[in-house]
Amino acid sequence: MKIIMLGAPGAGKGTQAKMIAEKYSIPHISTGDIFRANIKEGTDLGKKAKEYMDKGLLVPDELVVDLVVDRLTWDDTKNGYVLDGFPRTIPQAEALTKALAARGEKVDFAINIDIPDENIIERMGGRRACVTCGATYHIVNIPPKKEGVCDKCGSELILRDDDKPETVRKRLDVYHEQTQPLIDYYTKEGVLKDVDGTVDMMDVFGAIVQILGE
Ligand code: AP5
Ligand code: MG
Ligand code: ZN
């Protein structure tokens, strides 16, 4: 099962992708997480990516596409994967279609988590992420058991650098301009599925399971 997650920043792509990965035993591949891990380790890729991410801009396609296409050849992708945060531009979608077609494969589901911009700004200010394992929380909606501490691994929870309100607004503009056109792209491919992202996270997941099957 090859799944891609679409939706604005803060729509809940990461939250849902983690649950999908667990239920269907497929890897969760998040380009945002890959970049953040590289930033933490101080790699060249991380240094380049950070310049764009901190401004709320997309990392250039040439730094993303090869990385993902390579990741999709790893052994753990035999039964599929859930891609979170990729593709994010039409050239990225075209590169993915082409790389898959070369192996006689295609995307099975493009899940679009639909949510208005107003809901997003509120969510992002409350998001806290684990520095070690990447788990995400929300101080009001999905709080950790102990404030500031990850339930899963006990590490510190932080506010992401790009979750400041002015950067979130920029990310939303970039989303509408560069990523939203993918909704049309995957509608034409016949694989787009919309889910309402404004409801409780377990209800969002229920709607996704209905689409993917038990
Ligand atoms: P990335 O890490 O992908 O960020 P994003 O798309 O902006 O999305 P987020 O991770 O912020 O949101 P999400 O949809 O995963 O929501 P979450 O589940 O956390 O990318 C970061 C940057 O990297 C980009 O800006 C770009 O620079 C670069 N980049 C990455 N991929 C790239 C690519 N392919 N090309 C170019 N550049 C790329 O949920 C948000 C919050 O809401 C959380 O606090 C959560 O707990 C809460 N929440 C979730 N669901 C619900 C619910 N149903 N009800 C209430 N609260 C909820
Ligand atoms: Mg995410
Ligand atoms: Zn953790």
- Closest-CA residue, ligand 1 atom 53, reads 201
Ligand 1 binding pocket includes 9 (Cβ within 6 Å): yes
Q: How far is the CA of 152 from the centre of ligand 3 (A)?
A: 5
Tell me the fold of 2-116+178-212.
Rossmann fold (3.40.50)
Q: Mapped to the 3 state alphabet, what secondary structure does 95-145 carry?
A: HHHHHHHCCCCCCCEEEEEECCHHHHHHHHHHEEEECCCCCEEECCCECCC
What integer pLDDT is reported at residue 114 of this predicted model?
97
Q: What does the mean pLDDT of the chain come to?
A: 95
* DSSP H/E element including 150: none
The pair of structure tokens assigned to 103 is: 């192996």
Mutation pick for ligand 1 pocket among 29, 31, 122, 159 (CB with most ligand atoms within 8 Å): 31
Mean pLDDT of 39-62: 96
Pairing of strands 28-30, 81-84: parallel
Tell me which residue of 179, 160, 187, 166 sits closest to 64, measured CA to CA: 179
Q: For the chain, how are helix, strand and coil distributed in percent, rounded to 5?
A: 50, 15, 35
Residue range 167-209, pLDDT digits in tens: 999 999 999 999 999 999 999 999 999 999 999 999 999 999 9
Residue 50's pLDDT band (cuts 50, 70, 90): very high
Q: Lowest-pLDDT range, 41-45, 89-93, 119-123, 144-148?
A: 119-123
DSSP state, residue 159: -
Cα–Cα distance between 117 and 205 in angstroms, integer? 20
Give residue 35's pLDDT band: very low, low, confident or very high (50, 70, 90).
Answer: very high
Q: Which residue's CA is the closest to the ligand 1 atom numbered 56?
A: 141
Question: In whole angstroms, what is the distance from residue 57 CA to residue 60 CA?
Answer: 9
Reduce the secondary structure of 34-55 to three states and give it as a string: HHHHHHHHCCHHHHHHHHHHCC
Please determine, for residue 3, whether its predicted confidence score (pLDDT) is greater than 90.
Answer: yes
User: Is a pLDDT exceeding 90 seen at residue 72?
Assistant: yes
| 214: confidence class by pLDDT, cuts 50, 70, 90 | confident
pLDDT at 13: 97
What pLDDT, on a 0 to 100 scale, did the predictor assign at position 160?
87
Which ligand 1 atom minimizes the distance to the CA of 197? 53
Give the ligand 1 atom nearest the CA of 199.
53
Distance in angstroms (rounded) separating the CA atoms of residues 166 and 52: 15
- Are the beta carbons of 42 and 50 closer than 8 angstroms? no
Q: Determine if ligand 1 sits within 6 Å of the CB of residue 127.
A: yes
Q: What is the DSSP secondary-structure string of 2-40?
A: EEEEEE-TTSSHHHHHHHHHHHHT--EEEHHHHHHHHHH
Ligand 2 mean position, distance from CA 12 (Å) = 7
Question: What is the distance of C-alpha 77 from the center of its chain?
Answer: 17
